[in-house]
Amino acid sequence: MEKIIVCIKGVPKPGTVKVDPETHTLKRESMELILNPNDRPALEMAIRLKEKYGAEITVISMGPSNIIPLLKQAYALGIDQMILLSDRAFAGADTLATSYVLARAIEKLSPFSIVLMGLKSIDGETAQVPSETAGLLGLPSLINIKELKKEDDKWIAIRENEYGEEEIEVESSLLASVSPQAFDYLRPPSLKRLIEVKEKEPLIWTASDIQAEPEKLGLKGSPTQVVDVFEKKLEMKGTILEGEPQELVEKFIEVLKEKEIIKI
C-alpha cells in the first residue's frame, strides 16, 4: 500500500493578527489559528489518491499543542494518522529550521511514496518549505502541481505554467506542493470521523524522537533574522507633458534620454 505524508500548518486567522512593535514577531497569544487554506488542496489530493490507489495517509505539523485541533480537522477529512512535532527547541524556526524538522520526521516515516504540502502558507508566503524539505531529503521537488497519477510504476505530475501545461514523470518517491487552484471542489469533513476523532490524540514527536541535531533547530538553526516588519507603500509620481504633438514627442524623448531608457 502507498504511504502518503501531508504536512500542514496552523496560520493566524486573517483579521486576528497583531505584530509586537518591539520584536517584530507575531503576537501569537491573541490570534486564532486556522488550517492554512492552501493546505486543503494537498489534503484533498492525498485523499483522492487514497480513494484511487489505496493508501495510508499521515498528516504532520510542527507547533505547540494548539495545532492539535487542526490535525483533527485533517483526520475528519479522511486522514489515517496524526503526528504533532512539538518541542520547545523548535520555537522561532525559519523556513530552513522548519524544513529540517519536517525532513527528520518524514525520514522516520520511511518508506513512503508521496509527500504533499500546500504551495505556501498564507502568513509567511515564502513557499520555501516544500523545496527546502525536498532538498534535505534528496527527493525530487515538484512545485505547484495540479494533478498526480500513477502510470505503471511511475508517478505523473501535471502543472500549469505560463505557456501551458507540463507533465513530469518521476520514478521514485517525491515531494510535491499542490496548487491552490488544483481542484474546483474540496470535500468537507465527515461527521462520522468528527465524532470518532474526539477520542483520538495525535502522536507527539519531540526533537529526540526524530534524532534532530540541536544546533539546526529553532532560532539557533534559523539564518533568517527579522529586522523589521512594515507595510510597503508604493507611490507613483506622474508627469503631464503639454503642448503640440510635435513638441510633445521631442519633450518625451528628452525625458527618456534623461532616464537613460534610450540612447540616441
Partner 1 sequence: MLIYPLTDDQKLLLDLIKQIGEEYIKPYALEWDEKEIYDEKPIKALAHADLFGIIIPEEYGGLGWGSFEMCLAVEYLSYYCAGVSTTYAASFLGCYPILLFGNKEQKAKYLPFIATGKKLCAFALTEPQAGSDAFAIKTTAKKEGDYYILNGMKQWITNGGIADIYIVIAMTDPAKGARGASAFIVEKDDPGFSIGKKEKKLGLRASVTTELFFNDCKIPRDRLLAREGMGFIVALKTLDYARCGAGAQALGIAQAAMEVALKHATSRVQFGQPIYNFQAVSHTFAEMAMKIEAARALVYNVAKYIDSGAKDFSGASSMAKCLATDTAMWVTERAIQMMGGYGYMRDYPVQKYFRDAKCLQIYEGTNEIQKNVIARELLKYYK
User: In angstroms, what is the minimal distance from the CB of 184 to partner 1?
Assistant: 8
Distance of CA 224 to the CA centre of its chain: 17
Tell the smallest beta-carbon distance from residue 78 to partner 1 (Å): 9
* 237 lies in the site for partner 1, by CB under 8 A: no
Rounded least distance, CB 90 to partner 1, Å = 30
Closest CA to 40 of 107, 114, 121, 111: 121
CB of 237 to partner 1, least distance (A): 40
* DSSP 8-state assignment for residue 230: -
Three cell numbers at 188? 468537507
Task: Say how many residues touch partner 1, by CB under 8 A.
Answer: 10
Only one of the segments 11-19, 142-150, 186-194, 251-259 lies at the binding site for partner 1 (rule: CB under 8 A); that segment is: 186-194
If you write DSSP's letter for every residue of 165-183 in order, what string do you get?
EEEEEESS-EEEEE-TTS-
d(CA 129, CA 102): 9
13 binds partner 1 (CB under 8 A): no
For position 199 contacting partner 1 by CB under 8 A, the verdict is: no
Whichever of 103 and 197 has its CB closer to partner 1, that residue is 197
Binding of partner 1 at residue 195 (CB under 8 A)? yes
Q: What single string gives the DSSP state of each residue in 77-112? A: HT-SEEEEE--GGGTT--HHHHHHHHHHHHHHT-S-
Q: Contact 158/170 with Cβ under 8 angstroms?
A: no
The residue among 71 and 134 lying less far from partner 1, judged by its C-beta, is 71
Nearer to partner 1, 75 or 155 (CB): 75
Residue with cell 505556501: 120
Shortest Å, Cβ 190 to partner 1? 5
Looking at 110-226, list the stretches that DSSP marks H as alpha helix, in order from N- to C-terminal side. Answer: 129-137, 191-197
Is position 240 an interface residue for partner 1 (rule: CB under 8 A)?
no
CB contact at 8 A, 73 and 187: no
152 versus 184: smaller Cβ distance to partner 1: 184
User: Which listed range, 112-120, 194-202, 230-238, 243-251, lies at the site for partner 1 (CB under 8 A)?
Assistant: 194-202
Q: Are 252 and 241 in contact (CB under 8 A)?
A: yes
Least gap, CB of 30 to partner 1 (angstroms): 24
41 touches 179 (CB < 8 A): yes
* From candidates 192, 232, 233, 263, binder to partner 1 by CB under 8 A: 192
Site string for partner 1, 145-184 (x = CB under 8 A): ----------------------------------------
Closer residue to partner 1 in complex, CB, 35/157: 35
Q: Between 195 and 249, whose beta carbon lies closer to partner 1?
A: 195
Task: Tell the residue number behind the cell numbers 502507498, with chain if given.
Answer: 2
> Quick one: which of 194, 206, 219, 251 contacts partner 1 (CB under 8 A)?
194
**What is the rounded distance in angstroms from the CA atom of residue 199 to the CA atom of residue 224?**
39
From CA 50, how far away is CA 53, in angstroms rounded? 5
